């Protein structure tokens, strides 16, 4: 069991994952659960504190999301953020009501007491507000410790100094000293230890894998990406030769993936590895499908079918291992009835057939991508694996808009390889979260030499991100874009027009499908 934890109860805030990351960045493990998680489940955790997230609801409305009030009987500190603070006001008989003027954006926070939550901070700091309700009367047993020009009660604490509330968002970068506030909560108030490190995670994961797997055998899909590679090494360290890795060439991989994977893992690691050419079967399952979700489901089902078939060939296998990450879980399914919305299914999570015969082991499902990279480096994985940009489970199938065919896959592979080559030449590869090509389901008129052409349109996508939850488009240098466009049109026969995607996430997603 993890020690020294912070539990974040999710009320549907767009910033809930940022709270989790802010805590983890200070080497304290955090986990997110829905606001209505049962108190007995909370008691099973070794908690040092609880954070109540923000949310879009009004605390006084009918059927407002409210947690089990017995969290206040656990004897541990609680920090409410935005809606979380309003809930504290509501629970302890303060008064919460709509503001006369909604407060959104930057505000100057005037600190009345800097002895604990605001320890070491100046009397005035910048903060980020986003609320339409406010506490108009301090709740019973509490006192005001900060205010703004518009919010006379912008932060509160209980007089026994266990419960705290802030109306603003310390977890976002728009509150420059927000990390210090969270640090004060973790270490001055909750008295936690900054001991959640990659090495700590590795040691703990190996123990958990051994406990779960027992004497069983595990099969894992090794794609060569950082997620599956780190999962493979963790499992190999835990159970050795009882792990078999299977690389499935599903026909929707990038150019040269099979060769690269064979070279890297043959050179660096002594892992049981089977290479399976399944391109024909996957493309057959994708034939005629244009709906993105249907593509994901088709690939997920075929993936499991191939694995079950190959598992039979290597004897009795008990577990299927996957490199599922925390954002996969967050984006794929709502939190057990909680308020977080479903965005898309993921073949590692939402697309698994109900008749799957293998049990799952997912050693990375509580990590964000950057944390996986840190673990990978600690495990000794080479840079070409650890620093590899994320690649979606459904591969090029969700980067080919419309039907997926071998001809369209081959065309996109060429264009995509050019994008990566030029990004690397420009020294931008490690600075960018993802950069890739997308094949659009339209043709456009062009002129090559003295001839008219009517060929495919390709879009280029490059984004900055830290975990894939939010992203901003990269302002690529004009000369880099020019080289990419020129090379694609000249070398990827069948494309005569290149466009650049300048949308951020949200409102767009990183992938086009």
Catalytic residues: 82, 169, 171
For 153, half-sphere exposure in the C-beta direction (CA atoms, 13 angstrom radius) is: 24
- Phi-psi label, residue 47: left if phi above 0, alpha if psi -120 to 50, beta otherwise: beta
Long-range contacts of 19-22 (CB under 8 A, 24+ apart): 19/51, 19/53, 19/81, 19/171, 20/326, 21/171, 21/368, 21/466, 21/467, 22/170, 22/171, 22/178, 22/179, 22/182
Using CA atoms, how far apart are residues 153 and 216, in angstroms rounded to an integer? 57
3-state class (DSSP) for residue 295: helix
Taking Cα atoms as reference points, which of 228, 275, 282, 298 lies closest to residue 250? 282
Written as six digits, the tokens of 226 are: 């950082």
Query: What are all long-range contacts of 118-125, with beta carbons under 8 Å and residues at least 24 apart?
Result: 118/145, 118/146, 118/155, 118/181, 118/184, 119/184, 119/188, 120/180, 120/184, 121/177, 121/180, 121/181, 125/175, 125/176, 125/177
Residue 352: both structure tokens together: 């698994």
Q: What is residue 492's three-state secondary structure?
A: coil
Torsion of CA 83, 87, 88, 92, to 10 degrees: 160
Residue 147's nearest CA partner among 132, 172, 171, 129 is: 129
Q: In what order do the strands lie in the sheet with 218-221?
A: 272-277, 243-249, 218-221, 319-321, 359-361
Residue corresponding to tokens 């509490």: 142
Assign 357 to helix, strand or coil. Answer: coil
């Amino acid at each position: 069991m993890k020690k020294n934890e912070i539990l974040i109860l999710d009320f549907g805030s767009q910033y809930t994952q940022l709270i989790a990351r802010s805590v983890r960045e200070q080497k304290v493990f955090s986990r997110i659960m829905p606001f209505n998680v049962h108190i007995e489940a909370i008691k099973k955790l070794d908690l040092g504190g609880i954070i109540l997230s923000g949310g879009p609801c009004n605390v006084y409305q009918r059927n407002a999301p409210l947690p089990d009030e017995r969290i206040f009987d656990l004897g541990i500190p609680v920090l409410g953020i935005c809606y979380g603070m309003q809930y504290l006001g509501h629970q302890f008989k303060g008064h919460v009501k709509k503001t006369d003027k909604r407060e959104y954006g930057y505000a100057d926070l005037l600190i009345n007491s800097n002895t604990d939550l605001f320890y070491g901070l100046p009397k005035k700091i910048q903060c980020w507000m986003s609320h339409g309700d406010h506490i108009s009367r301090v709740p019973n047993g509490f006192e005001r410790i900060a205010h703004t020009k518009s919010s006379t009660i912008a932060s509160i604490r209980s007089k026994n100094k266990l419960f705290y509330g802030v109306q603003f968002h310390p977890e976002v970068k728009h509150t420059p000293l927000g990390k210090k506030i969270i640090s004060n909560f973790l270490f001055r108030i909750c008295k936690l230890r900054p001991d959640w490190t990659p090495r700590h995670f590795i040691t703990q994961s190996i123990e958990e894998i051994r406990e779960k797997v027992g004497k069983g055998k595990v099969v894992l899909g090794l794609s060569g990406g950082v997620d599956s590679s780190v999962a493979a090494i963790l499992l190999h360290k835990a159970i050795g030769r009882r792990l078999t890795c299977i690389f499935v060439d599903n026909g929707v991989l990038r150019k040269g993936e099979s060769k690269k994977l064979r070279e890297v893992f043959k050179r660096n690691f002594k892992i049981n590895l089977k290479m399976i050419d399944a391109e024909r079967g996957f493309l057959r399952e994708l034939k005629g499908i244009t709906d993105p979700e249907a593509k994901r489901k088709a690939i997920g089902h075929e993936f499991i079918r191939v694995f079950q078939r190959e598992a039979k060939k290597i004897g009795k296998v008990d577990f299927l291992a996957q490199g599922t990450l925390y954002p996969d879980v967050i984006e794929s399914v709502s939190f057990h009835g909680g308020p977080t919305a479903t965005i898309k299914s993921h073949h590692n999570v939402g697309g698994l057939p109900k008749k799957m015969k293998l049990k799952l082991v997912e050693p990375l499902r509580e990590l964000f991508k950057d944390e996986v990279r840190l673990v990978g480096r600690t495990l000794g994985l080479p840079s070409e694996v650890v620093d590899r940009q994320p690649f979606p489970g459904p591969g090029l199938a969700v980067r080919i808009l419309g039907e997926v065919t071998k001809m369209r896959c081959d065309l996109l592979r060429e264009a995509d390889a050019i994008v990566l080559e030029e990004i690397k030449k420009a020294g931008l590869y490690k600075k960018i979260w993802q950069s890739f090509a997308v094949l659009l389901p339209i043709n456009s008129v062009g002129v090559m030499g003295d001839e008219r052409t009517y060929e495919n349109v390709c879009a280029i996508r490059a984004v900055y991100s830290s975990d894939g939850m939010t992203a901003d488009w990269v302002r690529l240098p004009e000369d880099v874009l020019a080289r990419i466009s020129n090379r694609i049109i000249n070398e990827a026969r069948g494309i005569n027009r290149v466009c650049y995607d300048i949308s951020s996430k949200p409102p767009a997603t990183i992938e086009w499908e």
